[in-house]
């Protein structure tokens, strides 16, 4: 049975890996670098996690648990992402870019919960109906997560780290302002893309 010190070391290593993976990506991170950040030996990292891949899996599981936060279908999953700790958001952004299996699972879960949340909104009258509820949920999630994934560019133009709460919320608020109040004053672009969509469907 693990001692308290073992559990503390394991959490410290995982948190160091979370930060390092978020900054440098999985390919750019070594077990030795994580060990140095955590103040332990590389051997202790391997003792707890077996390999760098095992360490990544532990980080994925931790991020999934952090974002889920006890939420269920019908909850605003994106709000949970924005409220997560900065290292979790930074890891998540990098994982989306690197193609982490945990990030793929989380993205799917966020979309499914968002689709249910928007369906509740339709029934309650605060969301307009859609002809394609799945596409709406995917696009909505993609738009509001884009500032995290495009972090360097967003941070440069908004004057802050996109993984930090203030910048992440600023980007999300801009997206919600567009979705709530609208952007275009007529339907020319909607008509154009509807025609393209109809053409593709008829092929």
pLDDT for residue 1: 40
Question: Which has the higher per-residue pLDDT, 29 or 87?
Answer: 29
List the helix and strand counts (H, then E) for the chain.
Answer: 11, 0
pLDDT at 7 over 70: no
pLDDT at 151 over 60: yes
The per-residue pLDDT of the chain, averaged, comes to 85
* Mean pLDDT value across residues 110-130: 92
pLDDT for residue 69: 65
Burial class (CB in 10 A: 0-12, 13-18, 19+), 166: exposed
pLDDT for residue 6: 58
3-state DSSP: the chain helix, strand, coil percent, rounded to 5? Answer: 75, 0, 25
Distances, alpha carbon 43 to alpha carbons 5, 50, 191, 193, in Å: 16, 9, 61, 56
Q: Please give the DSSP secondary-structure letter assigned to residue 50.
A: S
Count of alpha carbons within 13 angstroms of residue 22, beta-carbon side: 24
Q: Please give the DSSP secondary-structure letter assigned to residue 184.
A: -
> Percentage of the chain with pLDDT > 90?
36
Lowest mean pLDDT among 4-13, 52-61, 74-83, 191-200: 74-83
pLDDT for residue 118: 93
How would you write 8-41 as a 3-class SS string? HHHHHHHHHHHHHHHHHCCCCCCHHHHHHHHCCC
pLDDT at 2 over 80: no
pLDDT for residue 4: 47
Lowest mean pLDDT among 42-46, 122-126, 192-196: 192-196
pLDDT at 153 over 80: yes
**pTM of the predicted protein model:** 0.69
pLDDT for residue 73: 47
Q: Which two tokens stand for residue 69?
A: 């936060």
Q: Please give the DSSP secondary-structure letter assigned to residue 60.
A: H
What are the tens digits of pLDDT across the range 34-93? 999 999 999 999 999 999 999 999 998 888 777 776 555 456 777 777 777 788 888 888
Q: Which two tokens stand for residue 149?
A: 């994934």
Q: Which two tokens stand for residue 21?
A: 């993976």
Lowest mean pLDDT among 78-82, 91-95, 133-137, 160-164: 78-82
């Amino acid at each position: 049975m693990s001692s308290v010190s073992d559990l503390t070391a394991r959490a410290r290593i995982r948190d160091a890996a979370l930060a390092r993976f978020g900054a440098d990506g999985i390919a750019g991170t070594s077990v030795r670098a994580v060990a140095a950040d955590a103040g332990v030996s590389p051997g202790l990292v391997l003792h707890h996690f077996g390999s760098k891949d095992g360490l990544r899996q532990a980080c994925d599981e931790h991020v999934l648990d952090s974002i889920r936060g006890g939420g269920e279908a019908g909850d605003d999953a994106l709000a949970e992402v924005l409220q997560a700790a900065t290292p979790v958001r930074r890891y998540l952004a990098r994982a989306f870019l690197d193609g982490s299996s945990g990030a793929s699972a989380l993205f799917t879960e966020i979309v499914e919960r968002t689709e249910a949340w928007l369906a509740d909104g339709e029934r309650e009258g605060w969301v307009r109906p859609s002809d394609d509820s799945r596409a709406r949920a995917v696009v909505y999630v993609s738009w509001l997560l884009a500032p995290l994934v495009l972090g360097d560019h967003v941070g440069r133009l908004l004057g802050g780290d996109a993984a930090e709460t203030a910048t992440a919320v600023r980007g999300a608020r801009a997206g919600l302002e567009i979705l709530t109040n609208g952007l275009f004053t007529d339907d020319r672009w909607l008509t154009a893309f509807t025609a393209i969509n109809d053409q593709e469907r008829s092929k």
